[in-house]
Structure 1
Amino acid sequence: MANHNQKLEDLYSKLSIEDEDEGGIVLGADEEIVRKSTDEFMLVGRFLTEKNINFNAMQNVLASLWRPKQGLEVHDLGEQRYAFIFYHILDVRKVLEGGPWSFEHNLLVLQQYSEGDDPLSVALEESDIWIQIYDLPKGFASENVLKSVGNYIGKFVKSDPNNFKTSWKSFLRIRVTLQVCKPLKWRMKIKREGGNWGWINFKYERLSTYCFVCGMLGHADRDCAVVYANPEKEVERAYGPWLRAPTRNI
């Protein structure tokens, strides 16, 4: 972790008081680092769970996963929100582009902070994830089709550049922005004009805790409101572990 207090002390030591009549000061170059660390280098996040988070364990785990080159600070903002302060834009991008991230299987929903925002009011409702598409009919493998599929699941971000490098693959990959307050989608109907409907199926990479009953992220079956509303009934489970993509080296 970067020692933020030390940075501030170093900054103050570089303040140069000019002639009193002119009434100015000269700030050292580190002032820019401190300023940026509170806007474009800061991420605000929350974990998609109602459980209490062990703060010390969480920040140690994430620091070991992210390995920021220029340091990291984590602050508890209250209201189950956290500030992740970096000191280089490449460390920020690595975290945003490398997600989704989780702690104890609880999804971390992140948003880049913009100067002037209230960290406690930043909308934390979206998360990017890689999705594998299976059973796409022959002749449908095109960038336009993948964009349409991505926008059906959530909001299309990009395709895996390796999707079309070989003539046959068991699945194609797209990165999609999900609304975390909506159920996961696990299949989609598709057809050519005048043809018959078929189904394509989805698997989610590095998928955190989700409910096999309602398909929502952030809780398991035993905590589902649908289960609680029907304590004497056998509730149908439309989802299952098959929604998780096989582990792969990313």
Structure 2
Amino acid sequence: MPSIRLTKQAVERGRRYCQFNLIGRLDFNKIKLEEIKKIALNLWKPKGDWKLVPLGKGFFMIRLVCEEDLRNILGGGPWRFGDQILRLSKWTPDFDPAIQHSSTAFVWIKFPKLGQQYWDYEILMSMGRALGSPVGVDKHTLNRDFGFYALVLIEIDLAKLIPQQFEVEEEEGKSFLQEVDVGRKKENITTTPQETQARKLQPLNNEKNHRGKEKT
């Protein structure tokens, strides 16, 4: 079998090109790429150069050159494209659309006994990433209408075991264990119509909306 050796510089150059990229997924039977581009431009208003690259099986790469755009897109949302919710993840070197599974579902995760100092959008979304791909935070959590538990909607791979707790580390070596309580589960993404998902995601708040309320 023929073989070649890639230089470290060439590989690093390729990874730098992809360092701010995201992977999106939509049903292209319901929406065309050009329409996605128009909606994305209106929703995201990217500050740097960007483009969408179809990868097959409903996946596409969101090519970004600006870390601020990456944070705004990944941390915002949920993003609606027609009657669909865009599923997002960070690009990884081993991503292959041909072998991506679909055993995922939107699940409401409760973080009980969480100190009030941690009821912050950015903190809660970071905690959600310990379990899967966070979609948003319940508005009653952000408004602190109750203090029993924080509630975060997370896209979770049901083929994997959901941990009962995980470690949260702070600066200066401080850490604590956070309990996980699996709340109500939304319908499996592979079987539920996208319009149902869009309707049920309405109560979610994103970071921009919440911080806008704080200023008023």
Q: TM-score, normalised by structure 1?
A: 0.45
Deviations 1:96-145 (A, max 9, x none): 1113222112121112112354355456766889x698xxxxxx97317x
Contact 2:137 2:204 in 1 (8 A): no
For residues 78 and 247 of structure 1, the distance between their equivalents in structure 2, rounded to whole angstroms, comes to 30
Q: 2:152 corresponds to which letter in structure 1?
A: R
Structure 1 residue 63 corresponds to structure 2 residue 22 = no
- Matched ranges for 1:12-91 at <5 A: 36-37=16-17, 39-47=18-26, 49=27, 51-91=29-69
Instruction: Go from structure 1 to structure 2 and tell me whether the alpha carbon gap of 1:83 and 1:120 turns closer, same or farther (over 3 Å shift).
Output: farther
| 2:156 pairs with one of 179, 191, 198 | 179
For residues 120 and 93 of structure 1, the distance between their equivalents in structure 2, rounded to whole angstroms, comes to 27
Instruction: Give the match for residue 178 of structure 2.
Output: none
Contact 2:106 2:189 in 1 (8 A): no
Instruction: Go from structure 1 to structure 2 and tell me whether the alpha carbon gap of 1:68 and 1:242 turns closer, same or farther (over 3 Å shift).
Output: closer
Which structure: larger Rg? 1
Instruction: Go from structure 1 to structure 2 and tell me whether the alpha carbon gap of 1:90 and 1:50 turns closer, same or farther (over 3 Å shift).
Output: closer
Instruction: Go from structure 1 to structure 2 and tell me whether the alpha carbon gap of 1:42 and 1:51 turns closer, same or farther (over 3 Å shift).
Output: same
* Higher RCO structure (Cα 8 Å, ≥6 apart): 2
For residues 177 and 102 of structure 1, the distance between their equivalents in structure 2, rounded to whole angstroms, comes to 16
Q: 2:154 corresponds to which letter in structure 1?
A: T
Greater share of strand: 2
Q: Report SS of the residue matched to 2:47.
A: coil
Instruction: Go from structure 1 to structure 2 and tell me whether the alpha carbon gap of 1:116 and 1:218 turns closer, same or farther (over 3 Å shift).
Output: closer
RMSD of aligned Cα (Å) = 5.1
Instruction: Go from structure 1 to structure 2 and tell me whether the alpha carbon gap of 1:53 and 1:69 turns closer, same or farther (over 3 Å shift).
Output: same
Deviations 1:30-55 (A, max 9, x none): x96x7523x221111211x4733211
For residues 83 and 101 of structure 1, the distance between their equivalents in structure 2, rounded to whole angstroms, comes to 16
Instruction: Go from structure 1 to structure 2 and tell me whether the alpha carbon gap of 1:92 and 1:219 turns closer, same or farther (over 3 Å shift).
Output: same
Report the CA distance between 1:92 and its aligned residue: 0.9
For residues 133 and 30 of structure 2, the distance between their equivalents in structure 1, rounded to whole angstroms, comes to 32
Contact 2:25 2:58 in 1 (8 A): yes
Contact 2:109 2:154 in 1 (8 A): no
Instruction: Give the match for residue 216 of structure 1.
Output: 188
Unpaired segments ≥5 residues, structure 1: 1-26, 134-139, 183-200, 205-209, 224-238
For residues 79 and 114 of structure 1, the distance between their equivalents in structure 2, rounded to whole angstroms, comes to 17
Contact 1:45 1:81 in 2 (8 A): yes
Report the CA distance between 1:86 and its aligned residue: 0.3
For residues 78 and 45 of structure 2, the distance between their equivalents in structure 1, rounded to whole angstroms, comes to 16
Instruction: Go from structure 1 to structure 2 and tell me whether the alpha carbon gap of 1:71 and 1:165 turns closer, same or farther (over 3 Å shift).
Output: same
Instruction: Go from structure 1 to structure 2 and tell me whether the alpha carbon gap of 1:156 and 1:100 turns closer, same or farther (over 3 Å shift).
Output: closer
The alignment of Structure 1 onto Structure 2 pairs a total of residues equal to 161
Unpaired segments ≥5 residues, structure 2: 1-8, 160-182, 211-216
